[in-house]
């Protein structure tokens, strides 16, 4: 994770200090659950142990010291426990009882990923709110719709935002499902059999942490859950990339329909003082590639050996912080872009008129069909006039001058085909649909 | 899609013939919805049109003829419509009215992907059934649990299958969600505005096809839906890879705990007559890599230009058939492997005894902790005996001979630590949990 | 591999029939090498064997029959050998002597990949030739250079093509290196030790096939070679995507500087008769995603188990044909696009003038620096005039009206900054450099 | 880049401080080249400027101050130049003359990537040296070769190391080629046309930095170069993964042929004192996934818009440090593993004998063929005996007791087939070949 592409909350979330505190909270949750176990034979932890360890160690862990001990033990959880013993003394012996490192690590990872997911969810909510506002603001701003980068038929700027809104809402639902998938821990021992533990202790301990037990754990929580989680992040990133790509297109010199907010004192180029570049959107495009690639690595982590091998660990040490922090950052950035986007309505209107009506060609063809022509015949007649318009004259003029066409459609009938408001009569309904769905 | 890694049903599903028939069904569904539109101004389709076209063309489309026409038009949907006009004559003019190619293509893709998803869902059900059987069959078969490929602590063979079962059930839920995501079509025109259509026509037409309308379509249905779908397939493939990897490990010469069914007349190697290789599992490992890579391409399809560009199309022409057919094939293959897996219980028992009790080391450490030793002290005492056992003697013997240990734990107390049944006392409960969850 | 995205030669190359013929050629090459081995103890193959088998079987293999036999043996090479025995009788016993299936499969794969690489190399040559022509044709066509999609400073259309040319030449060199990497076979037996063979036999046999021996084979040729090969294809695909992306941008309605050739009878849209879409370029964009993803799968094939596992095989059965055929197809398509690209010089000129001189801002800043201003001061003065020009007036006018600027630069000095030919004075030299490098 | 998976030299290489110093060196190299330009019209830089700026700024840059300025300008190179102006005063105006940010950034990236490549090359050399030693040490240690995880035929441990050596040597050559590809900078201005510069200045400036000029630059150096570079790293990582995977298999409890060095004081598991896990090798397996995924992102950076967009930048800010540092770390780690690997020759010998001769089955089949049997007939006879040996008796015994076999091969002839030294007679030659190739 690099500072440039992350925000403070996520950097703190994935700091050594926070991680060790979460480890401690898992150990203490398990310890408390064991204290409550009396009077079963497994319950040997003296009451009050967790409270005493918490008082001695919570908030006092020294990450540097733990890493120093790890140099010797080459095992991070053992180093951590050794340090807790330094702080809490004899009581610490009751920690980690019957547990394996992964009980701590995987339950902690779940706590941290859930917290990260909550940040991402918050970012999605804010993006939705921004999109909703812009969609309503431009509900009635006609905009040329483009397929293949070529003018197609008119749409509205509001609908573009509404499309992004609908996609963001889908991402909220996907993220919620993915968070549910990884809100799962385990306190089940070396190979998940509770050899020195019990399902009851686990359930209580995880409950305190906001987690559910893994259905069938091995040494670890199954990694298909994490793959699904990182895939959800990759889709979110791709959706942000779609918004960013649209802004980049809008800001092109020749299009000029909208542009990124440009700060006072900002410089677009070290060489060319006239430049105002969509660099934030381009940045999001690149970051999406990274999130996408990390998801690929997560998919390779699913098939581990037997009850686990540790190859997933190095992957997750990198991608869990990097992917969540990057998506959090991307959401904040794209939300700012949506909110601050400078819309040039005059350019939008000018571009809409650029083809001088070519974009209404479909309506003419349909009118000819209604007059009884076979579809392909009608198509060819209109295409002929459209291609001719390339060399001068508007489509409307070419059609009027075309003997075959004007024999079927008089001037009024032709004019009707070029009516923008008729084209957009359903735009409001679509927008309402998107807003209603987003409100759910 | 290659024959070797696909099954007939999926090959048929993605054939040219089937695709064109589905296109026709979309056109007819739209046509029927338009017929019912009377007496609104948009309703110009004469009653009975769809029925007449269906009678003339359905089941009679000639894929070769369509491809021939496409050579000229360089546009597949126009070629298709031209051919329908050849078959159905003047009535065909009422097809595709106000529609754009993507109305047909995307709605058809949804129909086909849903059908493919149903095959995959069926495959997951069968895999679950097979895993459930093997899990129950081996509920009480002790097996050494391995982490890092090293003997850890005992588990049961039933729990291994139960773990796969739980993962398969998660995949069923993920697939169901992903199917829901792509059961979405559009009949909304060139840029999704219903310029020459209406939301009501679309809703009725898609309803006939088992689809819902896209919330805010552009020229196409949004591609985040498809990315999520192919990601779900990639996770399924990775989960199958996990099962396959386990079988490959079990079949290793030195492990020998289970092996793939070996057919009569089968030959393992062209050079070595003694070979029986886990080639089906290895094959699944490779196929998983492919499915994973295809999901990557799908993620790149999300950010298209404006109201659409067609770059996603070539990707989907390849990966929609290939990914669904491959996963369908993988599920059938892995289910057969699970059902037919030859389990060697003697080797399992022999391997469990291989370390002569080393795998019970944790219990001894915990017993020492219960006697009042600090955890790290206890750990070091047991590790000392365990490493000594490398050079001869069992762990139990080394512990008995260790002055410090035997001062705290007498022979009976030590024996208790080596009790396999105590270790596995919760295995039944875990299995029940997995079965109960799967039954939901 | 699908017909739509492949050409006949590559389809033939990867057909069952061709593959079995290549297998036979490998077996015969080995057989001949063994015949020549006399009188060493390993030489037991009667002279003339290979010639007789060739006469009986070469060109007469029946793929369907081999697949039928494989149904029973579940081993493709054994099925192949059985079929050869059906054709050639007793002589066939001398084939495959001491060899393992992978001796045949990997040497054959090398032969086929080399042949495929030669097609790709040919495609690269043709693309280079087309780019060279267009680069020279437009050596002196000024074009606005764009960074971030925003007008930057002028360049020439010839230089754009020259840039593609230089990249294509790099790809030729990469492909040549990658071909060298996979022109490697093995005839070394079950685990690469020549247990029943000899390095001399291998060297002679592979020499007949145009291959070198693997330095240290396991059962197979090492897969890092193939990963490097597919990576080279992925880079080629990405370079083609870069050309395609440029064409797509040029063809945008608002830019209109160039467009794909549009065939007679072609239809751009089923709904909109006026459309001419850059669909070939978009298609190439999508295909590049596929080639990229396949390379990812190839990288996962490198780390196989011990002397080999067969997980790479299913991957290669798909990606070897698909990746080579797709890149071959892409090269042909992009070459056609480059050759046929319709350039609209008027639009290019109009776009160049669009910002009315803003794109010369850097020269003004530098002129001010030469007059003694600190760089940042000069930058801010020009940026001020440039941003003001947004609201009317050209940059030249704004500069002339700016007191501070005009105090330092008089009219003539300012005019000099806006001299296009001065800007482009080195363009010819760059082009020469690219052509010279390409000629090597 | 995280500390856990990187080494100090690479962390320093990618630090802010180092980066800004390299930027300064590029600016100074360009400045010096311009000073030498007199008396052409472009030469306006006063002699001695670069020397004075170097004295004032080199080694004195304050990264924190630059980042602070960037907060305002939102442009990193402008912030850097502003800071240099703070340090060097009026002379700084002559820096960056006619240059664009990417002239500095891309030339600097090339300098840094080359330095990183040199570290990686050094790591590859050390790995080669370690492999060479172990290959020679175990030139004559017989080891069962395994295909599909199943015992195949004998090989030697030395050949396994030799195979890794040959692959490492290929990676050295690939890396050298990839380094050559990215040893390319540009000092060519905003769109690569030398509008305010000259090819001669560029050539001299880059020469001082150890770089060559880009053939045809846009605003930047073409990104196919970088994609090829990161692909080369991905292949290196995959090759390391292959070594790591082999060690993991060797260390399995049931195999036990070799194990990672286990440090004094090291703890294998927080729960199980007896564990010694191949965690370093597993770690390398995971890291390889990361490097692979980063290469994927680099491939998406090739197709940028027109003369450049900046989407590649965020990708490279992450993967240039992460990928090079990770591969550098992996090489050091795997070299240590190879050097320190504890080989258990007794277990190797025991495993070799595990199948009691089954692994010699091919020789028997060939002997039968030499006696005149058709190959498939001989195969079936030996397979029959081999499968029977599963239920007791060695293959040698079963063959001796088989009427058909013993009719053709007497006891002495059969014994000859089971001669290990005959099997391995070419092992020395293969090893020599690998060593000779590595020496080149």
If one compares A265 and A401, the residue with the highest pLDDT of the two is: A401
Q: Read off the pLDDT of residues B109-167 as tens digits, 9 standing for 90 and up.
A: 999 999 999 999 999 999 999 999 999 999 999 999 999 999 999 999 999 999 999 99
Three-class DSSP category at B238? helix
What CATH number did the domain enclosing B421 receive?
1.10.40.30
Q: Tell me: pLDDT of B355 over 90.
A: no
- DSSP code for D392: S
Residue of D269, D293, D311, D314 marked active site: D269
Dihedral of the CA atoms B91, B94, B100, B104 (nearest 10)? -60
Q: How far apart are CA A421 and CA A154, in angstroms?
A: 10
Q: Read off the pLDDT of residues D75-134 as tens digits, 9 standing for 90 and up.
A: 899 899 999 999 999 899 899 999 999 999 999 999 999 999 999 999 999 999 999 999
The residue among B77, B97, B117 that closes a domain is B97
The alpha-helical segments, DSSP class H, found in A275-360 are 279-299, 311-340, 345-352
DSSP notation for A361-419? HHHHHHHHHHTT--HHHHHHHHHHHHHHHTTSS-HHHHHHH-HHHHHHS-HHHHHHHT-
Query: CB D290 to CB A73 under 8 A?
Result: no
Question: Mean pLDDT for chain D?
Answer: 93
pLDDT band at B270 (very low <50, low <70, confident <90, very high): low
Q: Tell me: pLDDT of A196 over 80.
A: yes
Residue of A nearest to C147 (CA): A277
The alpha-helical segments, DSSP class H, found in D94-222 are 101-137, 157-182, 199-208
B153 and B123 in a single domain? The answer is yes
Query: CB A171 to CB B224 under 8 A?
Result: yes
If one compares C77 and D370, the residue with the highest pLDDT of the two is: C77
The structure tokens listed for A324 are: 């969540």
Percent of chain B with pLDDT strictly greater than 90: 79
Q: How far apart are CA B368 and CA B408, in angstroms?
A: 7
- Provide the β-strand partners of residue A146: A151
Residue D39, number of CB atoms within 10 A of its CB: 5
Q: Dihedral sign for Cα A139, A143, A148, A153, please.
A: positive
Q: What pLDDT, on a 0 to 100 scale, did the predictor assign at position D3?
A: 87
| Average pLDDT of span A416-430 | 93
H or E element: which one contains A147? strand A142-147
Residue of B nearest to C252 (CA): B305
Query: CB A245 to CB B199 under 8 A?
Result: no
Query: CB A2 to CB D72 under 8 A?
Result: no
Residue (of D66, D36, D68) closest to D49 by Cα position: D36
The structure tokens listed for D335 are: 């070299």
Question: Mean pLDDT for chain C?
Answer: 93
Tracing tokens 């819902």 back to the chain, one arrives at: B212
Tracing tokens 């040959």 back to the chain, one arrives at: D166
Q: How far apart are CA A72 and CA A79, in angstroms?
A: 8
Residue D410, number of CB atoms within 10 A of its CB: 10
CB pairs under 8 A between A and B: 320
A245 and A384 in a single domain? The answer is no
Contacts of A421 (CB under 8 A, 6+ apart): none
Q: How far apart are CA D327 and CA D164, in angstroms?
A: 16
D280 and D338 in a single domain? The answer is yes
CA within 13 Å, CB half, B333: 26
Q: How far apart are CA A215 and CA B435, in angstroms?
A: 10
Dihedral of the CA atoms D367, D368, D372, D374 (nearest 10)? -120
List of chain D residues whose C-beta atoms are within 8 Å of the C-beta of residue C366: 97-98, 196
The structure tokens listed for B263 are: 């057919």
Q: Tell me: pLDDT of D163 over 70.
A: yes
Q: What pLDDT, on a 0 to 100 scale, did the predictor assign at position D41?
A: 56
Q: Tell me: pLDDT of B412 over 70.
A: yes
Query: CB C302 to CB D242 under 8 A?
Result: yes
Q: Read off the pLDDT of residues C304-318 as tens digits, 9 standing for 90 and up.
A: 999 999 999 999 999
Three-class DSSP category at B341? coil
Q: Tell me: pLDDT of B42 over 60.
A: no
H or E element: which one contains D226? helix D224-251
D135 and D245 in a single domain? The answer is yes
H or E element: which one contains D145? strand D142-147
Task: Report the predicted TM-score, pTM, of the whole model to 2 decimal places.
Answer: 0.96
Residue pair A233/A117 in contact by the 8 Å Cβ criterion: no
- Provide the β-strand partners of residue C185: C213
Q: What pLDDT, on a 0 to 100 scale, did the predictor assign at position C426?
A: 96
Residue pair B190/B217 in contact by the 8 Å Cβ criterion: no
Tracing tokens 């590049």 back to the chain, one arrives at: C288
CA within 13 Å, CB half, B301: 34
B85 and B104 in a single domain? The answer is no
| Average pLDDT of span D269-284 | 82
Residue (of B131, B151, B171) closest to B431 by Cα position: B131
D360 and D228 in a single domain? The answer is no
What CATH number did the domain enclosing C11 receive?
1.10.275.10
Residue of A nearest to C296 (CA): A296
Q: How far apart are CA D383 and CA B262, in angstroms?
A: 13
Nearest to B277 among D148, D249, D278 (CB): D148
Q: Tell me: pLDDT of A22 over 70.
A: yes
Q: Specify whether D269 is catalytic.
A: yes
A225 and A342 in a single domain? The answer is yes
Q: Read off the pLDDT of residues D18-77 as tens digits, 9 standing for 90 and up.
A: 999 999 999 999 999 999 986 555 567 889 999 999 999 999 999 999 999 998 888 899
Residue (of A50, A169, A29) closest to A99 by Cα position: A29
Q: What pLDDT, on a 0 to 100 scale, did the predictor assign at position C105?
A: 97
The structure tokens listed for C221 are: 């040729």
Q: Tell me: pLDDT of C302 over 90.
A: yes
Q: B223 φ, ψ to 5°? A: -90, -5
Query: CB B365 to CB D146 under 8 A?
Result: no
- DSSP code for D216: S
Q: What pLDDT, on a 0 to 100 scale, did the predictor assign at position C440?
A: 65
pLDDT band at B414 (very low <50, low <70, confident <90, very high): very high
| Average pLDDT of span D301-325 | 97
Contacts of B30 (CB under 8 A, 6+ apart): B95, B96, B97, B99, B103, B187, B201, B205
Q: What pLDDT, on a 0 to 100 scale, did the predictor assign at position C28?
A: 98
Contacts of D among chains (3+ CB pairs under 8 A): A, B, C
B306 and B211 in a single domain? The answer is yes
D273 and D153 in a single domain? The answer is yes
Three-class DSSP category at B186? coil
Nearest to B273 among D254, D279, D382 (CB): D382
Q: Tell me: pLDDT of C228 over 80.
A: yes
C363 and C424 in a single domain? The answer is yes
Q: How far apart are CA A29 and CA B238, in angstroms?
A: 33
- The Cα of A407 is separated from the nearest Cα of chain D by a number of Å equal to 47
Q: What pLDDT, on a 0 to 100 scale, did the predictor assign at position B84?
A: 96
Q: Which residues of C are catalytic?
A: 148, 269
pLDDT band at A331 (very low <50, low <70, confident <90, very high): very high
- The Cα of B348 is separated from the nearest Cα of chain C by a number of Å equal to 22
A275 and A326 in a single domain? The answer is yes
Strands C184-185 and C212-213: parallel
Question: Mean pLDDT for chain A?
Answer: 93
Which residue range forms the structural domain that includes residue C116? Answer: 99-350
- The Cα of A190 is separated from the nearest Cα of chain D by a number of Å equal to 7
Q: What pLDDT, on a 0 to 100 scale, did the predictor assign at position C264?
A: 64
pLDDT band at B363 (very low <50, low <70, confident <90, very high): confident
D140 and D204 in a single domain? The answer is yes
Tell me whether residue D264 is in a domain: no
Helices (H) and strands (E) in chain C, counts: 19, 6
List of chain B residues whose C-beta atoms are within 8 Å of the C-beta of residue D358: 274
Q: Read off the pLDDT of residues D175-218 as tens digits, 9 standing for 90 and up.
A: 999 999 999 999 999 999 999 999 999 999 999 999 999 999 99
Q: What pLDDT, on a 0 to 100 scale, did the predictor assign at position A272?
A: 64
Q: What pLDDT, on a 0 to 100 scale, did the predictor assign at position A265?
A: 62
| Average pLDDT of span B62-78 | 91
What CATH number did the domain enclosing C260 receive?
1.20.200.10
List of chain C residues whose C-beta atoms are within 8 Å of the C-beta of residue B190: 269, 271-272
Q: How far apart are CA A285 and CA A269, in angstroms?
A: 19
CA C59 from chain centre, in angstroms, equals: 32
The residue among A50, A68, A97 that closes a domain is A97
The alpha-helical segments, DSSP class H, found in D89-100 are none
Contacts of A308 (CB under 8 A, 6+ apart): A102, A218, A219, A220, B147, B148
Distances (CA, A) of D220 to A80, C241, C288, D107, D339: 48, 17, 22, 9, 43
Q: Is C306 left (phi over 0), alpha (psi -120 to 50) or beta?
A: left
- The Cα of D211 is separated from the nearest Cα of chain B by a number of Å equal to 34
The structure tokens listed for B430 are: 């875990």
Contacts of A249 (CB under 8 A, 6+ apart): A149, A255, B305, B306, C149
Q: Tell me: pLDDT of C230 over 80.
A: yes
- The Cα of C35 is separated from the nearest Cα of chain A by a number of Å equal to 47
- DSSP code for C90: G
ipTM of the complex: 0.94
Residue of B148, B270, B274, B306 marked active site: B148
The residue among C322, C350, C378 that closes a domain is C350
Q: What pLDDT, on a 0 to 100 scale, did the predictor assign at position B276?
A: 84
How many domains does chain B fold into?
3
List of chain B residues whose C-beta atoms are within 8 Å of the C-beta of residue D143: none
Q: What pLDDT, on a 0 to 100 scale, did the predictor assign at position C386?
A: 86
């Amino acid at each position: 994770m690099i500072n440039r592409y992350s925000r403070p909350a996520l950097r703190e979330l994935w700091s050594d200090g926070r991680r060790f505190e979460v480890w401690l909270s898992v150990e203490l949750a398990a310890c408390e659950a064991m204290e409550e176990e009396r009077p079963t034979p497994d319950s040997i932890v003296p009451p009050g142990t967790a409270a005493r360890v918490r008082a001695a160690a919570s908030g006092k862990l020294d990450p540097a010291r733990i890493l120093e001990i790890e140099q010797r033990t080459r095992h991070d959880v053992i180093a951590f426990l050794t340090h807790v013993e330094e702080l809490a003394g004899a009581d610490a012996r009751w920690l980690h009882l019957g547990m394996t490192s992964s009980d701590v690590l995987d339950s902690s990872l779940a706590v941290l990923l859930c917290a990260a997911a909550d940040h991402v969810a918050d970012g999605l909510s804010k993006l939705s709110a921004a999109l909703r506002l812009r969609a309503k603001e431009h509900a009635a701003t006609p905009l040329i719709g483009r397929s293949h980068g070529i003018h197609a038929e008119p749409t509205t700027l509001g609908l573009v935002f509404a499309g992004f809104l609908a996609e963001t809402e889908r991402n909220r639902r996907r993220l919620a499902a993915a968070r549910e998938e990884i809100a799962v821990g385990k306190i089940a021992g070396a190979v998940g059999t509770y050899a020195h533990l019990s399902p009851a202790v686990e359930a209580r301990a995880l409950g305190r942490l906001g987690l559910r037990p893994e259905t069938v754990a091995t040494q670890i929580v199954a990694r298909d859950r994490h793959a699904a989680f990182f895939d959800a992040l990759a889709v979110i990133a791709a959706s942000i990339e779609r918004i960013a790509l649209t802004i980049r297109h809008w800001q092109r010199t020749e299009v000029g329909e909208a542009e990124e907010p440009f700060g006072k004192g900002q410089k677009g180029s070290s060489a060319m003082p006239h430049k105002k570049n969509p660099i934030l959107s381009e940045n999001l495009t690149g970051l999406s590639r990274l999130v996408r690639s990390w998801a690929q690595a997560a998919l390779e982590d699913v098939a581990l050996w037997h009850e686990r091998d540790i190859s997933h660990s190095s992957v997750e040490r990198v991608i869990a912080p990097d992917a969540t922090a990057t998506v959090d950052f991307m959401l904040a950035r794209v939300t700012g872009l949506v909110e601050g986007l400078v819309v040039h309505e005059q350019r939008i209107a000018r571009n809409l008129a650029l083809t001088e009506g070519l974009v209404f060609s479909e309506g003419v063809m349909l009118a000819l069909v209604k007059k009884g022509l076979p579809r392909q015949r009608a198509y060819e007649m209109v295409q002929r006039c459209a291609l001719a318009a390339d060399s001068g004259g508007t489509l409307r003029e070419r059609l009027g001058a075309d003997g075959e066409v004007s024999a079927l459609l008089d001037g009024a009938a032709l004019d009707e085909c070029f009516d923008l408001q008729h084209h957009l009569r359903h735009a409001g309904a679509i927008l309402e649909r998107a807003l209603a769905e987003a409100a759910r």
